[in-house]
Amino acid sequence: MYRNAFLWSIIQSGFPIMVTFYLLHRIEGKLNDLIESIHALPGKMK
């Protein structure tokens, strides 16, 4: 019974977990671009 419950919980939570990882992966690239822009800003202000 425990094995079936564990498998069912993985199946139920698998989709939200995959969506979360996908969104975090997309946001990571945009955050890296933002960080690079912030680091370059003082040089452009001089």
**Whether the predicted model's global pTM rises above the 0.75 cut:** no
Residue 5: per-residue pLDDT: 80
Distance CA 17, CA 2 (A): 21
Distance CA 27, CA 20 (A): 10
Average pLDDT over residues 19-35: 91
Q: Helix (H, G, I), strand (E, B), or coil: what is residue 5?
A: helix
Average pLDDT over residues 2-26: 81
Average pLDDT over residues 5-32: 85
Band the pLDDT of 2: cuts 50, 70, 90. Answer: low
